[in-house]
Amino acid sequence: MMMKYKDEKYPSAKVVNGITMGGPRAHFRGMGLLSEELSKPFIGIINSHNEMHPGHIHLDKVAKAAKDGVRTGGGIPFEVNTISICDGFAQGHDGMCFVLPSRENIADSIELYARAHRLDGMLLIAGCDKIVPAMLMAMLRINIPAIMVTGGPMKPGRYKGENYASYELKEKVGELLKGHISQDEYLRMEEALSPGPGSCSMMGTANTMSVMSEALGLAMTDSAMAHAVDGKKLRVAKASGLRIVDLVNEGIRPRDIVTQEMLEDALRVAMSVGGSTNATLHVPAIAHEAQLKLKLEDIDEISRTTPYLCKIKPSGNHTPMDLDEAGGIPVVMKELDGIINLDRMTVTGKTFRENITGRENLNEQVIRPISKAYSSESSLAILKGNLAPLGAVVKQTAVSPSMLKHSGPAVCFQTEEQATEAIYNGVVQSGDVIVIKYEGPKGGPGMREMLTATTALIGMGLGDSVALVTDGRFSGATRGPCIGHVSPEAASNGTIAIVENGDVIEINIPKRTLNVRLSEDEIKSRLEKIVHPQPKVTEGYLARYRNHVTSAHEGAILKI
């Protein structure tokens, strides 16, 4: 007595076929499924909807549209939720220690569910910094048919006729403390600068990774810049639901799409629009899950040979909405034709070239043609030297020309909070180089981002005269001469651990160098005598993370 309900080509056949699977079938029937539905593909709607998170608060509606698409396409959707942490709420305290580590937790949780329940395919729905890369990592690790559905940017905040992103409030703190703006004006800006759902209105990590999703061919055309409140976002979600059923039946998997060349081209697209420094953590981690390789040196070479086409906040004054209205990522890719290969296959079943046929640049002030590029190099630069033997990263497109080369005395701190207090209290002076150590993946632990410190520099008028160097990381909102991901980190006996107040730090971004003016013998001598601080945590998830996380230059992935 076979009791075969489903073709054995579907992984979910293991759950519904055979006389011994009466229990699972009873569960399905108890949830309202008909016998006829048991034969259809089971699609996991992996949703990171969250009611304490502007980037994810609307994803219940996105998931509904996606589920409608799956049903219309002939599949059965099952919505499953995973966590999503907002970097904004974790700023400036030890909550930020948990944000980057959540990436691995999310990816692991999706793998556990998808493999345990034998899903046939997945739609993964997310909108913000660590959640989108986590889902891309999970897609490529599990390698069943899948489509990424990004939540979309929020509308820019409007105040006195100007467009703002929420990170700019942090930059206003210095103006408030110096009396340049009133408390009432600051509060009015609070009410205006985060106007609704979506990822922050800038080319931060969230939107950078959404661009990567589309440019990797793992999301539908126009998905990255379709705004959270736009009906286009719901249409993209519904179309994704329709398409995933076809992908399952065609047997097309993420690793069939994401080749080494596709990965590198996608990074070019993200950097051409001023992508975040955090891409240097997430893209190598994604490559690792795809069984590919991407080193910091590769990222630097790609950046050196990719023109800079879009100045989106924080690097310029344009917003993601401007980018969307100009034609979005399809037009950016069209402008890059010849530098990237548009004849690669995507989840749509068509090539990029086929997907963008007929698209035109609607605003060359926002998306510049290559002939009018802002520069021949794009957003990221990888620096090396005796202070960062394994590399460090800076968003060079957000650095003023006067600070591309800089030497100055180190002012050292062991936490972001110490540095921020010193900035606001006038301890840090023009020409200084702030050094924040023990904030790396192990030392943090969790590699906090230093947005509170970097925005303090801007607010206090030091953004063009003070550099910041850290083994921690930065928000995609960071601008100025801020160099992060210094590897090896202080907790791993990196040179940054032995830098002292007054040591001269030499930065040369065009030459890609980062050095401390000390002899090799002096560095060696100091390292031999160093006494590291005690670990900040000794129990729970962060203690496990600290023991297994790799260096930032490897993507801060977990060792198996």
Residues known to be catalytic: 475
- Pairing of the two strands 467-470 and 482-487: parallel
For residue 251, which phi and psi values (nearest 5 degrees)?
70, 25
254, 286 contact by CB (below 8 A): no
| Token pair listed for 471 | 């083994």
CA 178 to the chain's CA centroid: 33
332, 304 contact by CB (below 8 A): no
Burial class (CB in 10 A: 0-12, 13-18, 19+), 19: exposed
Q: How many CB atoms sit inside 10 A of residue 172's CB?
A: 20
Tell me how far apart the alpha carbons of residues 162 and 264 are, in angstroms, rounded to a whole number: 36
| Token pair listed for 92 | 């400036």
Helix (H), strand (E), coil (C) string for 161-216? CEEECCCHHHHHHHHHHCCCCCHHHHHHHHHHCCCCCCECCCCCHHHHHHHHHHHC
Burial class (CB in 10 A: 0-12, 13-18, 19+), 259: middle
Q: Which amino acid is at 247?
A: L
* Closest alpha carbon to 382 in 369, 391, 371, 370: 391
Question: Measuring CA to CA, how many Å separate 322 from each of 92, 151, 169, 249, 537?
Answer: 30, 17, 21, 38, 44
Cα dihedral 103, 109, 115, 118 in deg (nearest 10): -120
533, 542 contact by CB (below 8 A): no
| Token pair listed for 62 | 């996105």
